Amino acid sequence: MKMLIFAITAGMISASCAPSTPQARIQRHPEKFESLGPQHRELVQSGRIDRGMSQDAVFLAWGAPSRTFQGSRNNRMTERWDYSGTRPIHTNTFNGTLGRHYGPCMRQGFSGFGWGPEIAYIPYHIASVWFIENQVDSWERAR
């Protein structure tokens, strides 16, 4: 029984760390892929988007957005999908107090004095897609 629980837990952790690719999203959502026209299918398979694509096509090509924003332009419904990532920043910080720490530069439960290496993860903007009435109007992507 313990081995079964271990195997299930290991599988779940492994699956959660696997990168999501257009091919993996197509396999999970074949009905969305089949509803696309031939030109949009080709773009989705190569992880690209273009004007006029549906939100389903963008989801299959680029994945789920980090944030979404809704609005209106010229009495038409708009939506913006933002994609973000994180990058590590290596720092050295000084811990000059005793006891438990919960601040941004201290590790919880560390006590004592001294310098210590830290790795912080800062967010950065990868891309945005603007939709008007559920179709891509424009997009931008960092290089």
In a domain, 113, yes or no: yes
Global pTM?
A: 0.69
Count up the domains in the chain and report the number: 2
Q: Is 34 exposed, middle or buried (0-12, 13-18, 19+ CB in 10 A)?
A: exposed
- Note whether 71 and 124 are same-domain residues: yes
Distance CA 106, CA 126 (A): 29
User: Residue 57 phi/psi, 5° resolution?
Assistant: -65, -40
> pLDDT tens for residues 80-125?
999 999 999 887 766 555 444 455 554 444 555 556 678 888 999 9
Token pair, residue 20, equals: 């999501």
- Note whether 58 and 120 are same-domain residues: no
- DSSP 8-class letter at 139: E
- Note whether 58 and 24 are same-domain residues: yes
**Boundaries of domain holding 128:** 66-143
> pLDDT tens for residues 35-86?
999 999 999 999 999 999 999 999 999 999 999 999 999 999 999 999 999 9
Number of H helices, E strands in the chain: 5, 4
Task: State which of 64, 90, 121 marks the end of a domain.
Answer: 64
Residue of 92, 81, 24, 82 whose CA lies nearest to 54: 81
In a domain, 8, yes or no: no
Task: State which of 30, 64, 98 marks the end of a domain.
Answer: 64
pLDDT at 26: 97
Distance CA 29, CA 39 (A): 18
In a domain, 27, yes or no: yes
